[in-house]
Structure 1
Amino acid sequence: MKYRIYGAAGSGSVPVEAPLTLIGAPYEVVVDAPTWEGDHQRDRVAPVNPMRQLPVVIAPDGETMTESAAILIWLAERHPQAGLAPAAGEPERGQFLRWMTFIPASIYSMYWVRDVPARLAGDDPEDQARILERTEDRIAECWRTMEGQLSPGRFLLGDRMTMLDLYVTVVSRWRPMRRRFYVEAPRMAEVVRRIDALPELADFWAARFPFEDGWEG
């Protein structure tokens, strides 16, 4: 029995696939649909998510989950032996939930606009360009805010890796990309570089989000 995933290389399914890889839980990407390429791709996701967005995970028991942060917290609870989330009552639990929620609410949400700027800007190319510029600045501001509120150790919440580290490692590769992330969040940058270099994920990164020339921006 496997988890079944609707995702795409480099997409929001990657932070979901990464912990499954670390946990050793069997999964397969049953639909690879880069939804930013247009309605023909979004329509492939519609049968399991009316919002036509990635990621979607279908558990071995048939339960369907959407929303990346919810999926990551849910997976951590389904696989507590992996230790990828502080348990209820642990000192780090509050901050874990805080930042796991901050990423989709404040950062990830910007990509719904960026993927198709005409959704808010209409057909005017200049308005679309302004939307893209301002959303990049907003994302950078959010990383800067997170940097100022965290006190990273070896990982973002201390000495134990959590789903938050995997989440930030992937999302920080999207626009405005890593070079600006390194400037806005230098202490967090040390952590994501550490996650980039995990030998347990080397083959996974190569397959699902390769470090190709220019990947840092």
Structure 2
Amino acid sequence: MADSVLYGTPGWGSALVEAQLDFYCLPYRFETVGNLFTDAAARERLITANPLAQVPTLVLPDGQVLTESAAITLWLAGNTGRDDLVPATGAPEQAAFLRWLVYLVANIYPTFTYADDPARFVSTEAARAPFKAAIKAYRERLWSIVEDASGAPWFLGERFSALDLYVCVMHHWSPRGDWFAMHAPKLNAIALRAKALEPLRGVWSRNFPDA
């Protein structure tokens, strides 16, 4: 049987799924897409599988396409029959896990959609700098809410989960590690702890080699 194919770009949102595939020891092939903001050919290559031309895009061995990292997170847990990254139905941590998984992808993740390529949303060059500054401030406020809700040593307390992988990946993005160390120390500690997990060292080095 063919392996799944994960379309992504090192350091981008595909790292969220790549980390889970490695954690579960699932076979897959990583297909590097390129910079979807600047490379029209990269967008054309991906658009056949995902009309939004976004990563992560996971093509299953039977040809079905999965997009949206939260959907892939839940699908992988369900189809492996494992609950080490996603609390099972009835688990005491399940409600908090689902709440904060959707919070991350519905609130914080879209700030990168807006700020990474503001020309898609703001027509004049002069307006783009204040637009990006406003998004950055809003993103930091969103992260502060997550910091207040975070447990220790992992986001859900003693229970490791995919939320910790999200925190680790997104810790590399704006506002980046120095901001987290100063303003979100619990999240910063989670990111560093997840980065040190032996089964994930390969995925972190592939995606964030200079971190």
Corresponding residue for residue 103 of structure 1: 104
| Structure 1 residue 57: Cα displacement | 0.4
**1:17 aligned onto 2:18:** yes
1:9-29 Cα distance to aligned partner (Å, 9 max, x none): 001100100111111101111
| Structure 1 residue 32: Cα displacement | 2.4
CA distance in 1, matches of 2:185, 2:62: 41
| Structure 1 residue 62: Cα displacement | 2.2
> Bigger CA drift: 97-106 or 172-181?
172-181
Please tell me the residue identity of whatever aligns with 1:209.
Answer: F
Alignment of 1:48-127 (within 5 A): 48-81=49-82, 83-124=84-125, 126-127=126-127
1:161-213 Cα distance to aligned partner (Å, 9 max, x none): 21111012111211121211222321121111101111222222112222x1x
Please tell me the residue identity of whatever aligns with 1:174.
Answer: W
**1:148 aligned onto 2:148:** yes
SS at match of 1:30: strand
**1:44 aligned onto 2:75:** no
| Structure 1 residue 108: Cα displacement | 0.7
CA distance in 2, matches of 1:203, 1:55: 18
1:111-148 Cα distance to aligned partner (Å, 9 max, x none): 11112111122132x31111221111111111101111
Corresponding residue for residue 134 of structure 2: 134
Alignment RMSD, CA only? Answer: 1.5
Corresponding residue for residue 168 of structure 2: 169
SS at match of 2:152: coil
CA distance in 2, matches of 1:168, 1:36: 24
Question: TM-score under structure 1 normalisation?
Answer: 0.90
Aligned residues: 210
Q: Does the CA contact (< 8 Å) of 1:156 and 1:164 recur in 2?
A: yes
Please tell me the residue identity of whatever aligns with 1:65.
Answer: L
CA distance in 1, matches of 2:196, 2:49: 34
Q: Does the CA contact (< 8 Å) of 1:107 and 1:142 recur in 2?
A: yes
SS at match of 2:153: coil
**1:28 aligned onto 2:29:** yes
Q: Which runs of 4+ in 1 moved over 4 A?
A: none
Q: Does the CA contact (< 8 Å) of 2:23 and 2:200 recur in 1?
A: yes
SS at match of 2:189: helix
Corresponding residue for residue 205 of structure 1: 204
SS at match of 1:6: strand
% of aligned pairs identical?
A: 33
Question: TM-score under structure 2 normalisation?
Answer: 0.93
CA distance in 1, matches of 2:153, 2:4: 30
SS at match of 1:89: coil
| Residue segments in structure 2 that go unaligned for 5+ positions in a row | none
> Bigger CA drift: 189-198 or 175-184?
175-184
Q: Does the CA contact (< 8 Å) of 2:10 and 2:32 recur in 1?
A: no
| Structure 1 residue 82: Cα displacement | 5.9
SS at match of 2:121: helix
Q: Does the CA contact (< 8 Å) of 2:59 and 2:66 recur in 1?
A: yes
| Residue segments in structure 1 that go unaligned for 5+ positions in a row | none
| Structure 1 residue 107: Cα displacement | 0.8
